[in-house]
Structure 1
Amino acid sequence: MLMLKTATVLEAISKRRRAERPAAHTGLSKNTIFATTHSADDALVLLGATANGLTAEQAAERLDASGPNTIEATTKTLARRVADAFIDPFAGILAALALVSLYIDVLAVPEPQRDPSTVIVIGIMLLVSGGMKFIQEARSGNAAEALKDLVSNTCTALRDGERLEIPFDELVPGDVIRLSAGDMVPADARIVTARDLFVIESALTGESEAVEKTAATTVVDGAGGSALPLSACKNIVFTGTSVQNGTAMALVVATGSDTYLGSIAKMLNGRGEKSAFDRGVSSVSMLLVRLMLVMAPAVFAINAATKGNVIDALLFATSVAVGITPQMLPVIVTTSLSQGAKDLARRQVIVKELPAIQNLGAMDVLCCDKTGTLTEDRIVLERYLNTDGNEDARVLRHAFLNSFFQTGLKNLIDLAVIDRADVTPSAVVPDSMLGQSLRDRYTKVDEVPFDFSRRRLSVVVADAQGKTQMVTKGAAEEMLEICSFVEIDGIAQPLTDEKLAQIRKQIAGLNAEGLRVIAVAQKTNPRCVGEFGIADECDMVLMGFLAFLDPPKASAAGAVATLEAKGVAVKVLTGDNDRVAATVCEQIGIDASNVLLGSEIDALDDAELAERAEKTHLFAKLSPLQKARLVRVMREMLGHTVGFMGDGINDAAAMRASDCGISVDSAVDIAKESADIILLQKDLGVLERGIIEGRRTYGNLLKYLKTTVSSNFGNVLSVTVASLFLPFLPMSALQLVLLSLVYEIVCIALPWDTVDDAWTARPRAWDAASIKGFMLELGPVSSLFDIVTFAALFFVVCPAAVDASWSELAAAGDVAGMATFAALFQSGWFVESMWSQTLVVHMLRSPHLPSPRDHAAPALCALTVLGLALVTWLPASPIADALGLMPLPTSFFGLLIGIVTAYIALTQLAKRRYIARHGELL
């Protein structure tokens, strides 16, 4: 909620923070400055709080007074949203046409001759185009917010002295919150107590290294806090940052817009960089604008020279410019994406940013972690062994003390240890389980939290007699580095090279069975209480190992095979042991014959890494930064569209580096914040459905672009040819605009159309060049039949209807006859153009001929029938005179059927030829 709504603010800050630092104003609230420069106790007094937090009544009163803990960063005003909906190049063309028509048809003629119909129709087109864009964007925005609400972000706060999980937006100044590894910081807060707390502030400072935070008071030199820099706030954690490791209790000093992030949000203006999807739409728009700038002046010059009426030529040329551009492009884009987001939601895929749908469909490499994604989201402790390979309850006992008393983010391994101890009988306390007896007999003294560089965690506990022990568990290799002794038969002995080799062989054997191995070590009476740290993790006694089974999901093999068949290569990027990961990969069908380790990656430059990464599907023992580097190299140097699926703290950097970050609702806050797509089930099968839906959405958008652009291009060619030979305009500006309006309304149903399975079978990246080729190859087909229609109307249908040819009417000076002749001609092309332009959508939407088994969506079929019926009826309607139309003779409809039938047949041939040359239609 709060974090999701401030994503754009975080991105903008990270890009602009260095270049645009306020000279004097630091963005820190008065409470924050006071809390930084005074003790934690003074800050508690200032905010009327205690170390046990607020009461529920106090919190409710403060929430009413301060408002919800949300940042109103970049919400558009109503006026801005209306302007964005109605102001674009295409709307500018329509507005220019309306102004020209207003002057020519209304202002510059006597009152009896005034005809505002063209202005009215253009006004309707503007309202339909802009209004629908406004409505669809509003709906998509509402839908996106509704979908985001499904993703919960909560924090632990003390209320009435008890720990409660509350939503971010309910925090108030004076709340005391608990932070641990993986948490997003929900508000600006003053550290009260901390243990090895490191916070990532890159979203605010641009620096990637974590910053240590303590409860110590900041001493400010000189003028005080008025120019207090962010770097000096070593005792403050800021909204939007994340906890890398450690724990803390912190006092909330500022919420919502009073936070540092909120103050920066108020100062930020402008928009972020365009996504690849936005750039693709823009490239197509520019292609159409360039085409318009070439064709419209040519039509104007030809008509002005041949017809002698500059004003009419200008009006008609402007209409042609409108006709060649797909006015509903913004509407279709928004509708396609919002409809795709709704369809994905039904498939348990939540879209945070609409353009991510196309990136999902274009993805050809999916990087994912192993645990929970390819394997069951649970881990079972199978064995607890001493260094001789025998089961030993003492190893389980010490592992429980470490897992239960650590205060960080309890992972699946910790939960598995606790669960096993809770069902294992105690050898010391009769009729009691091991876990419960240890809870009663030991107390926690201190802890050294887990981090990804050490890959271990230490807890110091004391028994009833006051004896203290440091118990450490972690990755086997990292644990061996800190052990100087080994426990054999309950006695600590020096760890010899021979014993070390035996232990490594034992670990390798367990890994070969697909078991994940964690080592357990201890040290008695390590040092004085309160002075423990990472430096104490040395000269420890290795006790034994925990062997965990992380079985592959039953659906994993099928999902991987399906993704591979759909053109998405699955690559596993894990921090786990390579042998364990390789066993899982082999079980589900991922090639693990070529494994690249994190230690090897650091020795490679980007070019060498790219070469290795292309051939490798398993990367093991990786750090978070190594994951991010791999994603960047595959994107930038290999040209892949890369998605990264993760749910942990160590996945956030890689998700941000990818084209499409994918997370799950159960992920830690920073992972959900970094994601573009959120799955409601952590399953590759769900993701596969999302990928197909992303491709379908893009396919329907491409249908509109290709069919509309090629059809419009053909119409412009037809107008250009007709202008050279006809003594009058082939269609009035009003008729051309009205025809375009009806056609575009029919196309609004395209986002609901089906897409061939063959087309969704592989990744689909944006390709503006293919649209241009489609236009140039298939557009002239419609021009051919337009010219046939022109000839039939000019030489057959119209002369038969008025009993004279054009030359005879002109020679006789029959002005009324010539007007009737021209109106009949324009009515005929008006109807024929609508039939050919609309039916070609159904011809080009699929490689196959329309049939009962392969037809358009019902909505598109219904709008097609209504559009054709309306345009065919208009020449005989009561408003025909106002539109410059007149009833068509019966003979015309026989001609229409023949031309449309021939057009469909030739289009099918041209379509086959295009597919033969390019391999596919869309």
Structure 2
Amino acid sequence: MPKTKLIQHIKNITIKGNRNAGDAPRDRGGKSAVARCGELGSALEHAARAEKHDLLASLGSSTDGITSAEATRRLEQNGHNSPSERRRLPLALRLAASFVSPFTLILAALAAVSLYTNVILAAPGDEDPSTCVIIAVMVAISGVLRFVQEDRGLAAAESLRKLVTTTCCVVRAGEPEREVPFSELVIGDVVRLAAGDLVPADARVIEAKDLFLNQAALTGESEPVEKTADPCPAAVPSRALTVGDCGNIVFTGTSVVSGSARAVVVATGDDTYVGRVMGACRERPAQTSFDAGVASVSRVLVAFMLVMCPVVFVLNGLTKGDWLSALLFSVSVAVGITPQMLPVIVTTCLARGAREMARHEVIVKDLAAIQNLGAMDVLCCDKTGTLTEDRVILERHINVEGRPDDRVLRHAYLVSHFQTGLRNLIDEAIIGRYESIAEKDRGLAGVASRYRRVDEVPFDFERRRMSVVIEDERGKSQMVTKGAVREVLAACSYVELAEGVRPLDGGLRTRLLARAEDLGARGMRTIAVAQKTNPRPVGAFGPEDERDMVFMGYLAFLDPPKQSAAEAIERLTKAGVSVRVVTGDAEGVAACVCRTVGIRVEGVLLGPEVDALDDAALAARAEETQLFARLSPLQKARVVRALRAAGHVVGFMGDGINDAAAMRAADVGVSVDTAVDVAKESAQVILTRKDLSVLVRGVREGRRTYANTIKYIKATASSNFGNVLSVLVASAFLPFLPMSALQLLLLGLAYTVACAALPWDNVEEAFLASPRTWDARSIVRFMLWMGPLSSVFDIVTYAAMFFVVAPTAAGGPWGALGPATAAAFVAVFHTGWFVESMWTQTLVLFALRGERVLASEGRPARTLAAVAVLGVAALTALPWTPGASEALGLAPLPAAFWPLLATCAAGYLLLVGLVKRLYLRRFDSLL
């Protein structure tokens, strides 16, 4: 039967109205439709609920599988068993995408206008393409830097993929069992599974013996999950099945821990659960905090240009009468207003941050993720492996009174040592703990050598216990049993107390169960140990001999919290990042781990409760909840979206298939190099060590990157705003332009080059102490407060240059000069304002780059200071540089200018310092 018909046939059998969860529509109340139709999809739902024979018939298969000819036909018709991979864009498209950002688009528009006015409209011989060339260089530097850094991040991420050739054992009708590649499986194939196998496709178990799977990558639960061939019990009509409900479905990518099974394939490729999650991850990601911030800043810059440039154009045209010169000058003002170096500064800051993070075990795939890390105020993370060691340790071995007892551990050790079945993590933990104690206590050492195994009663999932019969050197024999507390207790008639062995009555039985429940409430998995002396079986030992035993005590196991987790969470909390645990694991275990590492657990929100809430209610509950447990992958993503809707910048850290959709929904997704491929594909940041302390450094680097970017934006935007105000005043009162278009462009370029070292600047610790987001309103506010300050001293400079300095150099006041001396007057005036502007712009950058610029932590980096000094010196020397002075229309300045420059610079710094104190008192933060 063709795959499309198979799927349609299964859909027709399922509850009417079910739809695939991959579409994720919303109902009128804002609740995800996934909550109604189920995240598994109708095909898997039917496979889980159907009787074995009905399912095989609907798939056109049998317990012996399908024929090879039929498998070939289905493979040709329906394709291979591999989810569609996200194709990497061609090199040319990736390079082009690196040049597309709001900042570069603004500069490109200015370059186009400049090309039209300065080249196309210019008279023959007067063409001046310098503006276009300079802007093109800025855009090229920015784009190439972004392309190189992001391509390195992608290449590093792809190198983390494990290239493994995988095959599975397939049963084909009329043929011997054989190994085939995963990709060649089709619906209806029957596969044989054994311990250690990876599950090759979503399949329904049709035969099973003691089958346990590790599906932590799907659910986050570290404990193996039992799978049987029984149909799922009828679920509540209003609730669809989840991964945890499907005790008879084995999912792609999980692994067999123990046991064996036969299973019939019911979904392959994109139709598997993993394929559906990967499909959801390919959807267009939501706009992140960085994207929104860049867009808002870009709108402010465009609005500023659209308001100021026409005013400059009209005012100069009316006062000077030369409309073409006025147009050229207004275009230069537009270029000067725009922080031309902005794309380069942003990209350089991000690239430097990425390099620093790579030194600290963090690979950045997307440069924007660095600033999103710095802006993050909520971090959602899973439990296993992030907060815990992702391993089982024996936390306690206690007797029935609750006191540590090495006899309990010794008996459990003998069972784990002498049993012949596959040792699981519990056995390894018991043996490891006993041997570590035996190294310090000679009385416990070598205990196994004093016994021999007589027989054993293997574990099975009905009894949920196992026993070994041992005999010592004197011929004394014992049956020792360990297993689930209730099942071991059911085999006991006695209990071992401090005063001796007593019959096990109802009151004692209740006490023993209560102690086990108390240990479970603390997040520990608890098993029991019992024994009896000199058992006498009839023939071989069997389950019927597990009776009249003596209950000895408990073993309590824990996936221990990482030693670094509590400190990392404390550091994140102090840095303004709230850590929320979002896990598919049980709430009791997760709550215990949270309390251990210092996460407040006052309210717990479970998966079914998430489904019952609309978006508004979920956002309200998520705001006050620290622990989300028993969540499916799509429920995790919905929680992330709810937190973002409440105004948070959210990061999500995970490594499983069940985390991929949530990472995609977050502002920044964080994964690790050992994660499954779909998780690494969804993440923007990959840690080479799964540890929150690594992420703490990433958060600090993100804030450092933002700090050095915003320094440039605010200082430059406010300085440029002041320059435009100065130009407006000069245009109204001066009989000539205050500066030529080329001089204005060169001034802006020199200043921005001096800012090129800002990415390496120091940042005050106070700024790194809290999340930082882009805020266009704060930029406008900063411009309005700080920009006019420079205009005050520009106007003083205008007056002094027009009435004192320029007349001194030209030999008389403006009105008394001829054409030749008037040109000298204008050249000296232009040069004076040119030099004064460069000095004051650079000095104010140092004054506004932090709140405590004189403190040790606020001092500028040596690189920044050196570049700035060289830039100022170079522009100050231009009027005396042969060739350059003539080309730029500059002239040497008389001695009277230098006292004026010193007075203006000192007065400007004093005024900026005063206004900065008022600004901080009013708004609390400078940047």
TM over 0.5: yes
Q: Specify the code of the residue in structure 2 equivalent to 1:734.
A: L
Alpha-carbon distance, 1:827 to partner: 1.8
Contact 1:384 1:545 in 2 (8 A): yes
Distance 2:419 2:728 in 1: 82
The aligned residue for residue 791 of structure 2 is 783
The aligned residue for residue 529 of structure 1 is none
Match of 1:693 among 694, 701, 724: 701
Contact 1:826 1:885 in 2 (8 A): yes
- Residue identity over aligned pairs, in percent, reads 43
Contact 1:44 1:251 in 2 (8 A): no
Alpha-carbon distance, 1:343 to partner: 1.0
Distance 1:779 1:671 in 2: 47
Contact 2:587 2:630 in 1 (8 A): no
The yes-or-no answer on 1:921 pairing with 2:907 is: no
The yes-or-no answer on 1:100 pairing with 2:105 is: no
Q: Specify the code of the residue in structure 1 equivalent to 2:821.
A: G
User: SS state of the match for residue 755, structure 1?
Assistant: coil
The equivalences for 1:594-605 within 5 A come to 594-596=602-604, 598=606, 601=609, 605=613
The equivalences for 1:86-235 within 5 A come to 88-105=105-122, 108-109=123-124, 114-116=125-127, 118-119=128-129, 121-148=130-157, 151-155=160-164, 157=166
The yes-or-no answer on 1:293 pairing with 2:306 is: yes
The aligned residue for residue 345 of structure 1 is 358
The equivalences for 1:424-443 within 5 A come to none
Match of 1:769 among 738, 760, 777: 777
Distance 2:287 2:308 in 1: 29
User: SS state of the match for residue 354, structure 2?
Assistant: helix
Distance 1:689 1:891 in 2: 53
Pair 1:242–1:142, CA change in 2 (3 A): farther
The aligned residue for residue 78 of structure 1 is 92
User: SS state of the match for residue 630, structure 2?
Assistant: coil
Contact 1:710 1:776 in 2 (8 A): yes
Distance 1:366 1:313 in 2: 53
Q: Specify the code of the residue in structure 2 equivalent to 1:642.
A: V
The aligned residue for residue 705 of structure 1 is 713
Q: Specify the code of the residue in structure 1 equivalent to 2:713.
A: L
The aligned residue for residue 748 of structure 1 is 756
Distance 1:432 1:690 in 2: 50
What are the superposed Cα offsets for residues 583-608 of structure 1, whole Å, 9 maximum, x if unpaired? 6555554445x353638946974666
Pair 1:872–1:353, CA change in 2 (3 A): same
Structure number, greater radius of gyration: 2
User: SS state of the match for residue 166, structure 2?
Assistant: strand
The yes-or-no answer on 1:886 pairing with 2:894 is: no
Alpha-carbon distance, 1:726 to partner: 1.2
Match of 1:837 among 841, 849, 855: 841
Q: 377-386 vs 678-687, which deviates more?
A: 377-386
Alpha-carbon distance, 1:616 to partner: 5.0
RMSD: 5.8
Contact 2:203 2:251 in 1 (8 A): yes
The yes-or-no answer on 1:910 pairing with 2:915 is: yes
The equivalences for 1:220-259 within 5 A come to none
Pair 1:275–1:183, CA change in 2 (3 A): farther
User: SS state of the match for residue 510, structure 1?
Assistant: helix
Contact 1:344 1:350 in 2 (8 A): yes
Alpha-carbon distance, 1:692 to partner: 1.2
The equivalences for 1:621-636 within 5 A come to 622-624=630-632, 628=636, 631-632=639-640, 635-636=643-644
Distance 1:649 1:631 in 2: 16
Pair 1:380–1:484, CA change in 2 (3 A): closer
Alpha-carbon distance, 1:736 to partner: 1.4
Pair 1:134–1:460, CA change in 2 (3 A): farther
The aligned residue for residue 510 of structure 1 is 519
Pair 1:520–1:329, CA change in 2 (3 A): farther
The aligned residue for residue 345 of structure 2 is 332
The aligned residue for residue 573 of structure 2 is 564
Pair 1:353–1:804, CA change in 2 (3 A): same
Distance 1:174 1:73 in 2: 21
Distance 2:514 2:642 in 1: 35
The aligned residue for residue 41 of structure 2 is none
Pair 1:900–1:461, CA change in 2 (3 A): same
The aligned residue for residue 233 of structure 2 is none
Q: Specify the code of the residue in structure 2 equivalent to 1:78.
A: A
Distance 1:889 1:40 in 2: 98
What are the superposed Cα offsets for residues 330-353 of structure 1, whole Å, 9 maximum, x if unpaired? 222222112111111222223232
The yes-or-no answer on 1:820 pairing with 2:819 is: no
Q: Specify the code of the residue in structure 2 equivalent to 1:887.
A: P
Contact 2:619 2:646 in 1 (8 A): yes
Contact 2:623 2:643 in 1 (8 A): no
Pair 1:483–1:720, CA change in 2 (3 A): farther
What are the superposed Cα offsets for residues 260-293 of structure 1, whole Å, 9 maximum, x if unpaired? 999x999x99975532211211110111001101
User: SS state of the match for residue 394, structure 2?
Assistant: strand
The aligned residue for residue 857 of structure 1 is 861
How many residue pairs are counted as aligned between the two chains? 780
Alpha-carbon distance, 1:309 to partner: 1.0
The aligned residue for residue 231 of structure 1 is none
Contact 2:202 2:249 in 1 (8 A): no
User: SS state of the match for residue 366, structure 1?
Assistant: strand
| Gap runs ≥5 in structure 2 | 1-19, 27-58, 73-79, 171-180, 219-226, 230-247, 439-444, 470-480, 496-503, 531-550
Distance 1:659 1:802 in 2: 61
Pair 1:213–1:546, CA change in 2 (3 A): closer
Q: Specify the code of the residue in structure 2 equivalent to 1:842.
A: F
The yes-or-no answer on 1:848 pairing with 2:852 is: yes
What are the superposed Cα offsets for residues 747-774 of structure 1, whole Å, 9 maximum, x if unpaired? 2221111110001111112222111111
Alpha-carbon distance, 1:364 to partner: 2.1
Match of 1:319 among 327, 332, 335: 332
Distance 1:135 1:488 in 2: 78
User: SS state of the match for residue 287, structure 2?
Assistant: coil
Alpha-carbon distance, 1:803 to partner: 1.0
What are the superposed Cα offsets for residues 806-843 of structure 1, whole Å, 9 maximum, x if unpaired? 1222xxxx222222222221222122112212221111
Pair 1:446–1:152, CA change in 2 (3 A): farther
What are the superposed Cα offsets for residues 45-66 of structure 1, whole Å, 9 maximum, x if unpaired? 999xxxxxxxxxxxxxxxxxx9
Q: Specify the code of the residue in structure 2 equivalent to 1:715.
A: N
Distance 1:193 1:746 in 2: 73
Q: Specify the code of the residue in structure 1 equivalent to 2:759.
A: P
The aligned residue for residue 219 of structure 1 is none
The yes-or-no answer on 1:802 pairing with 2:810 is: yes
Match of 2:904 among 888, 899, 904: 899
Q: Specify the code of the residue in structure 2 equivalent to 1:85.
A: F
The aligned residue for residue 293 of structure 2 is 280
Distance 2:832 2:195 in 1: 73
Distance 2:747 2:913 in 1: 24
What are the superposed Cα offsets for residues 864-916 of structure 1, whole Å, 9 maximum, x if unpaired? 12221221122222122222222222322332222112111111111111111
Pair 1:616–1:269, CA change in 2 (3 A): closer
Q: Specify the code of the residue in structure 1 equivalent to 2:926.
A: L
Distance 1:182 1:551 in 2: 25
Distance 2:680 2:288 in 1: 20
Q: Specify the code of the residue in structure 2 equivalent to 1:131.
A: A
Alpha-carbon distance, 1:628 to partner: 1.9
Contact 1:156 1:178 in 2 (8 A): no
Alpha-carbon distance, 1:545 to partner: 5.6
Alpha-carbon distance, 1:518 to partner: 3.6
Distance 1:817 1:485 in 2: 113
Distance 1:193 1:69 in 2: 27
User: SS state of the match for residue 85, structure 1?
Assistant: coil
Q: Structure 1 length normalisation: TM-score?
A: 0.69
Distance 1:74 1:282 in 2: 26
The equivalences for 1:420-499 within 5 A come to 487-488=492-493
Pair 1:807–1:288, CA change in 2 (3 A): same
Distance 1:318 1:879 in 2: 23
